[in-house]
Structure 1
Amino acid sequence: MSETRYFEPGAKWTALLYGPLFAVLGYLAELATGTTHTVAWILVGLGLAAITAPWIHARRRFLTVRVTGTELWEGRESLPLSEIAETTDVGAPAGARVLGGGWSTPRKFDELPIRLTDGTVVVAWAKDVQALRAALERA
């Protein structure tokens, strides 16, 4: 595996801490009032962490953007860098294929039209399109 030149995770595992942190704050609020439900707050924290884990896993699997020395990865789809002809001043025609297997660019991601060596245009996406373009041009 070649080195990673650009990496954008779909989500970070630190998001697992939000549910337990909420439960600790709820427990502390109850502690200030005098009545506590310790077991309930433990279950709330564990439950929120349990439903957050698959969400994080899915986002990391389908929304991760990575550029290595040989490939551009968009979600689970890879595109060899040798097939990329141009990344600047490329217009995205209507109906251009979106990398990563989705119907459209994921929400909160910006588009980067890429012209391939066969002349077709595909749409890559990232939160920081300028950094992605720079990584693709360097590679």
Structure 2
Amino acid sequence: MTDTGNGTTILFAEPGARWRSVAYGPLLCLIVLILELVTAAQVHWFALIFCAALIAGFVVLQVIAGQRHVSVELTDTALREGTETLPLATIDAVLPERDEDSWDDEDWESARSLGELSGVPRRRKGIGLRLVDGALVQAWAKDHRGLRAALTEALGGADPDKAEDTGRAAPSTEETEHSENGADR
């Protein structure tokens, strides 16, 4: 947990993109330059410098966009997903994960995702949230289990598998155990 300057505590954070990725393209061009110098081949100074600058420039744009639109931050007062901030007081419950063995989709899987993007961003997984007004939305993160745990704790530690929260009973131990040969899967 990290304390911000304005008195709130950061419970969970994902930056969306990291600045170190800007260096990957220029480093690759530097390796090619070293190989050209060592092998006594013709050194392509202009092409390598141009490519390094061009790649770095494009990646800078991607990092800025990633940090603006795909970052996640949970504080003790709000959840920020990209450019949208949702006060924790408006969240009623964190819904359970999707049952991978079920053929039916959960209701929250077709709900609006938080942020200004049209859906859950690539390489992220949605988390169902029920708001106080009854609406369903999807939060999302790369570390979705970490965000789910932090959200559950921030909302008062309610168990997301309780039947009262989800409207359906939690599976019994007999339903979750599988046979050794996998015939019941």
TM-score normalised over the length of structure 2? 0.70
Which structure is higher in RCO with an 8 Å CA cutoff and minimum separation 6? Answer: 1
Partner of 2:48: 41
- 71, 75, 79: which is aligned to 1:68? 75
The 5 A counterparts of 1:23-62 are 23-34=29-40, 35-62=42-69
Unaligned runs of 5+ in 1: none
- Whether the 8 Å CA contact 1:99–1:122 is kept in 2: the answer is yes
Partner of 1:87: 94
Could you tell me how far apart the structure 2 residues matched to 1:119 and 1:104 are?
A: 20
Could you tell me how far apart the structure 2 residues matched to 1:56 and 1:89 are?
A: 32
Partner of 2:10: 4
Partner of 2:100: none
Deviation of 1:54 after TM superposition, in Å, equals 0.5
- Whether the 8 Å CA contact 2:108–2:138 is kept in 1: the answer is no
Q: 1:136 to 1:93 in 2, by over 3 A?
A: closer
- Whether the 8 Å CA contact 1:92–1:122 is kept in 2: the answer is no
Deviation of 1:4 after TM superposition, in Å, equals 1.1
Could you tell me how far apart the structure 1 residues matched to 2:63 and 2:70 are?
A: 10
Unaligned runs of 5+ in 2: 1-5, 98-105, 155-185
Larger radius of gyration: 2
Structure 1 stretch displaced more, 76-85 or 24-33? 24-33
Does residue 99 in structure 1 map to residue 99 in structure 2? Answer: no
Bigger helix fraction? 1
- Whether the 8 Å CA contact 1:64–1:75 is kept in 2: the answer is yes
Could you tell me how far apart the structure 2 residues matched to 1:111 and 1:94 are?
A: 7
Deviation of 1:109 after TM superposition, in Å, equals 0.6
- Whether the 8 Å CA contact 1:70–1:81 is kept in 2: the answer is yes
Bigger strand fraction? 1
TM-score normalised over the length of structure 1? 0.92
Paired-residue identity, %: 37
